[in-house]
Chain A
Amino acid sequence: MSDKGLLEQLNRTTETLSHSLTNLIRYASISTEKDDEEHGAQELPESTSKTSTGGLMMVSGQTAQLIRGIQDLMVMTRNIREKWVLTQIPDEKADSQQELEMAKCADLLEEWSKAVLGKI
């Protein structure tokens, strides 16, 4: 069923979304003191390329992922909407139209035959 696929896609997208925000924040880290303590190295200024890449990743990468994820989920809701409205089975019993009253119609037709010839 396409619904299993939908479910999986939903899960995947949500996962990605939740991670995106975390990653975004991570990319935004400015402080390097912690790193210095770990490695014991000292005073290596962060290279500009690292900064710029980090910044770029933040914006175009993670943010775009966030937006993309939300949009995907909204597309999914639209799909579901379409499915509901477009592919319904008309209920044969509930909405069935009034039946023609055969006898009455037969009479009417008789009358017509005479009326149209001007006999009435």
Chain B
Amino acid sequence: MTNNPPDQSSQAANHETKRIPLAIDPNFMKTTSSALPTDQSDDNDKSQNGTHQNATTGQSLVNNPYEMFGSMPLDQLIPVILQSRGIGSKFADLSERVLSEEIANDAEDMEHVKNLDEDVEMDSSDFPANADQEALKPQQIEGPLAREEEDQMTQEQFQQLKNSTVQSLNLSVNEASLALEFVSLLLSSVRPSAANASMSPFLKNAVPTASLNAEKIPYEKATESEIVDKKLTTRGWKLRSLEESRVLLKDTHKTLEASLRKEQNYWSKVSANTSKKDVIFKMKDQETGEKSLGLKYGYEDSGSSYKQERGIAILRYNANKDALEAVPAEKQQFESMNRGPFEKFMRVRIFTKIQEEDDYILSGETALDDLLLAADNSGAEQNIRRQISKLQFLIFEKELMYHLKKESETLISYGVTLENENKITVEFPTEKIEFEMMNLTDEVILNHQQDAPKTNDRKAALILVMLRMLLVVMYKKQIRKKLLMVAHSKAVHPFDNEALLLRPIMGKFRHENYLNLLQKVIKTYVLDVVANSVVTEIPSDYRKQNIPVRRETYDKHITKLDDEITLFDKILQLPRIDLKVELPGSGKIEFGLESSNYCNATTSVKLVDASNATIFDTRFSNFKELEDFLHFIVSEYVTEGKQE
């Protein structure tokens, strides 16, 4: 309500009130706490009186006093009244008689004042609108209102001045007290008593006495020459520092540039020669000590469990050859432990027995793999990849030997001997096969071409190839096991018991030999004895080794692995062959030659007579016994039958 424009409200007031002199002069409405009359209305208790504040602002004059005071609670109204009447007035003194007297007095005064006010109004051209309104207002209000305007203008200023004065006073009091503290602290060192009297208790507690001192230092004005000197020094120093800074920056720039070139070169070579399939990682070079990139070339992630070597090589830049080198991480360590040269490869030799001399002659040998031959420098890129391939080859050979050795331990009873840590020998009736790890020395490389081709070279090569392939099959089985055993928390065990490298190959040979022997036995004891007997081979149905149930939910990788593994099933299956000897008129004998561990042989003999009744069905592991048995049944059952 306080924001009504003065014009309208005063008019309203005008219409309502017919110049009724008011007992309460709204102009004197001030806050009870008059310390800092505020133009800012932030105090809540002043909200009621905020309306009155507006009265003093000069913009909105008192609009409708009756509204205001009518709604004001009594406990506020009374102090206001008392205030307006001046200090010292008591409410109890108010009575009708007193008030009417006052009114009478005031009416006289107003006439005097009115004249003045009119003059004032006519003179003041700044507030024409308000002045007009005021002329219509009740006299009582009019006078004080006009005066109030000017007062209000000055009142605002007055308030401001008052504020600033008070602030300045506060400030000065603070400063003065601070100064006092300071001085008394200073004094405390000399005159403790005086100081203690003047120091504040807070300071006394915070700072021990006599802790501040002051000296007077005579100020010697610097002489001209000194000033000049100092200036020169400053200049010189700054210049020197600038120079140093420049030099530092330049030098750093040079060194950084050099190392940048080197590094860019390295990176470009690496990026040109490796693919995103290679596993590269950060590695610390053992020899030079600097951090560099390493490459993983071992088969560890592809199913190997060879722990002897780590299969990583550091990619080092060789400034002399301007090429990258792949140096296996353990090479130096290996060679320093006197285990011989780091690079070894496997060689298979076949010796044929010379019956007369009971000695062997070399009849076949594997040749050096192309990878191991000296490179013909066909470009840098080939070089590093070639190096990597070579390293892969070598580690593969080493692992092959390792597994062969392990396997040989179980094959001792079948003619396999471990001659030294680099050589395994397998003996057969007519020949001997040697598996040896050869050091890759320069002589070997040079000499390899000079060997004449021998008859059994091919066989030796075939054996070696198969050995390698079987090792890969082992890897694949290992991968498969890892893939399927996801829930297995324990580490996947290496395939100690599954090494099938030499066995299947040996098995083939031995099986063949046994077969020959069996056929000879059959010939001697059956075919030659019984007329018209024919021996035929029964094509055995491909005995399915336990193929795991093929579930559709298998990952495509697993199915692929399965396919690859089954590819070798025929090679890996236990040898078995079935023979049937038809005895005309007397039934047949069925022979089954099989092996339970590739290397032994059990012969099963089944005698079925003409009426399809099985007479005998036995097994022999000894060929002598087999011979005797055959002799027995033939003589007893067959010929006798004939005779009958």
On A, residues with C-beta under 8 Å from B are 24, 27-30, 43-48, 51-52, 54-56, 58-59, 62-63, 66-67, 70-71, 74, 78, 81-82, 85-86, 88-91, 95, 100, 102, 105-106, 109-110, 112-113, 115-118
Residue ID in chain B nearest A25 by CB atoms:
B242
Residue ID in chain B nearest A103 by CB atoms:
B567
Selected from A54, A59, A66, A88, the residue in CB contact (under 8 A) with B276 is A88
Selected from B229, B237, B267, B276, the residue in CB contact (under 8 A) with A81 is B267
What is the CB-to-nearest-CB distance from B166 to chain A, in angstroms, rounded to a whole number?
A: 33
Interface pair B277/A74, CB less than 8 Å apart = no
Question: Which secondary structure dominates where chain A touches chain B?
Answer: helix
Residues of A within 8 Å of B567, CB to CB, are 100, 102, 105-106, 109
Residues of B within 8 Å of A30, CB to CB, are 234-235, 238-239
Residues of B within 8 Å of A116, CB to CB, are 459, 462-463, 466, 505, 508
Pairs of residues from A and B, 4 with the lowest C-beta to C-beta distance, nearest first: A45-B230, A55-B241, A88-B276, A90-B277
Interface pair A86/B277, CB less than 8 Å apart = no
The answer to the question of B178 belonging to the interface, with a C-beta cut-off of 8 Å to chain A, is no
Selected from A59, A70, A78, A85, the residue in CB contact (under 8 A) with B241 is A59
Docked pose: A74 CA to B260 CA in angstroms: 9
Interface pair B234/A110, CB less than 8 Å apart = no
What is the CB-to-nearest-CB distance from A45 to chain B, in angstroms, rounded to a whole number?
A: 4
What is the CB-to-nearest-CB distance from A49 to chain B, in angstroms, rounded to a whole number?
A: 11
Interface pair A67/B252, CB less than 8 Å apart = yes
Interface pair B242/A58, CB less than 8 Å apart = yes
Residues of A within 8 Å of B227, CB to CB, are 43, 45
Residue ID in chain A nearest B231 by CB atoms:
A45
Interface pair A58/B241, CB less than 8 Å apart = yes
Stretch at the interface among B65-73, B243-251, B354-362: B243-251
Docked pose: A117 CA to B431 CA in angstroms: 13
Q: A54-B238, A95-B277 are in contact. Are A117 and B512 (CB under 8 A)?
A: yes
Interface pair B563/A95, CB less than 8 Å apart = no
Residues of B within 8 Å of A86, CB to CB, are 280-282, 293
Residues of A within 8 Å of B260, CB to CB, are 74
The answer to the question of B509 belonging to the interface, with a C-beta cut-off of 8 Å to chain A, is yes
Could you say which of B222, B238, B248, B564 has the most chain A C-beta atoms within 10 Å of its C-beta? B238
Residues of A within 8 Å of B508, CB to CB, are 113, 116-117
Residue ID in chain A nearest B466 by CB atoms:
A112
Docked pose: A110 CA to B226 CA in angstroms: 106
What is the CB-to-nearest-CB distance from B495 to chain A, in angstroms, rounded to a whole number?
A: 21
Interface pair A117/B509, CB less than 8 Å apart = yes
What is the CB-to-nearest-CB distance from A117 to chain B, in angstroms, rounded to a whole number?
A: 5
Interface pair A63/B248, CB less than 8 Å apart = yes
Interface pair B570/A109, CB less than 8 Å apart = yes
In residues 246-300 of chain B, which contact A (Cβ within 8 Å)? Answer: 248-249, 252, 256, 260, 263, 267, 270-271, 274-277, 280-282, 293
The answer to the question of B571 belonging to the interface, with a C-beta cut-off of 8 Å to chain A, is yes
What is the CB-to-nearest-CB distance from B447 to chain A, in angstroms, rounded to a whole number?
A: 27
29 A–B contacts from the bound complex (CB under 8 Å): A28-B238, A28-B242, A30-B235, A48-B233, A51-B233, A54-B238, A54-B241, A55-B237, A55-B240, A62-B245, A70-B256, A74-B260, A81-B267, A85-B280, A86-B282, A90-B277, A91-B276, A95-B276, A95-B277, A102-B567, A105-B567, A109-B570, A112-B462, A113-B570, A115-B462, A116-B462, A116-B466, A117-B508, A117-B512
Besides A45-B230, A66-B249, 12 more A-B contacts (Cβ < 8 Å) are A28-B241, A29-B238, A46-B234, A55-B240, A63-B249, A85-B267, A100-B564, A109-B567, A109-B570, A116-B462, A116-B466, A117-B509
What is the CB-to-nearest-CB distance from B452 to chain A, in angstroms, rounded to a whole number?
A: 20
Residues of A within 8 Å of B244, CB to CB, are 59
Selected from B222, B280, B512, the residue in CB contact (under 8 A) with A43 is B222
Contact count band on B: 35 or more
What is the CB-to-nearest-CB distance from B510 to chain A, in angstroms, rounded to a whole number?
A: 11
What is the CB-to-nearest-CB distance from B71 to chain A, in angstroms, rounded to a whole number?
A: 62
Docked pose: A92 CA to B146 CA in angstroms: 97
The answer to the question of B458 belonging to the interface, with a C-beta cut-off of 8 Å to chain A, is yes
Residues of B within 8 Å of A100, CB to CB, are 564, 567
The answer to the question of B182 belonging to the interface, with a C-beta cut-off of 8 Å to chain A, is no
Docked pose: A117 CA to B293 CA in angstroms: 48
The answer to the question of B568 belonging to the interface, with a C-beta cut-off of 8 Å to chain A, is yes
Docked pose: A29 CA to B238 CA in angstroms: 8
Interface pair B238/A51, CB less than 8 Å apart = yes
Docked pose: A44 CA to B229 CA in angstroms: 12
Docked pose: A93 CA to B219 CA in angstroms: 87
Docked pose: A86 CA to B292 CA in angstroms: 12
Could you say which of B226, B237, B245 has the most chain A C-beta atoms within 10 Å of its C-beta? B245
Residues of B within 8 Å of A28, CB to CB, are 238, 241-242
Docked pose: A73 CA to B230 CA in angstroms: 40
Residues of A within 8 Å of B252, CB to CB, are 67, 70
What is the CB-to-nearest-CB distance from A33 to chain B, in angstroms, rounded to a whole number?
A: 11
Interface pair A109/B563, CB less than 8 Å apart = no
What is the CB-to-nearest-CB distance from A118 to chain B, in angstroms, rounded to a whole number?
A: 7
Residues of B within 8 Å of A47, CB to CB, are 230
Interface pair B568/A46, CB less than 8 Å apart = no
Interface pair B466/A85, CB less than 8 Å apart = no
Docked pose: A58 CA to B240 CA in angstroms: 11
Docked pose: A48 CA to B230 CA in angstroms: 7
Residues of A within 8 Å of B237, CB to CB, are 51-52, 55
Q: A43-B227, A46-B230, A116-B459 are in contact. Are A24 and B245 (CB under 8 A)?
A: yes
Interface pair B233/A113, CB less than 8 Å apart = no
What is the CB-to-nearest-CB distance from B76 to chain A, in angstroms, rounded to a whole number?
A: 58
Write the B500-535 contact mask toward A (1 if CB under 8 angstroms, else 0). Answer: 000001001100100000000000000000000000
Interface pair A85/B271, CB less than 8 Å apart = yes
Residues of B within 8 Å of A70, CB to CB, are 252, 256
What is the CB-to-nearest-CB distance from A13 to chain B, in angstroms, rounded to a whole number?
A: 15
Residues of B within 8 Å of A52, CB to CB, are 237
Docked pose: A27 CA to B242 CA in angstroms: 9
Docked pose: A117 CA to B459 CA in angstroms: 8
Interface pair B509/A95, CB less than 8 Å apart = no
Docked pose: A43 CA to B267 CA in angstroms: 60
Interface pair B231/A46, CB less than 8 Å apart = yes
Residue ID in chain A nearest B242 by CB atoms:
A28
What is the CB-to-nearest-CB distance from A84 to chain B, in angstroms, rounded to a whole number?
A: 9
Residues of A within 8 Å of B462, CB to CB, are 112, 115-116
Docked pose: A106 CA to B248 CA in angstroms: 71
Docked pose: A118 CA to B568 CA in angstroms: 20
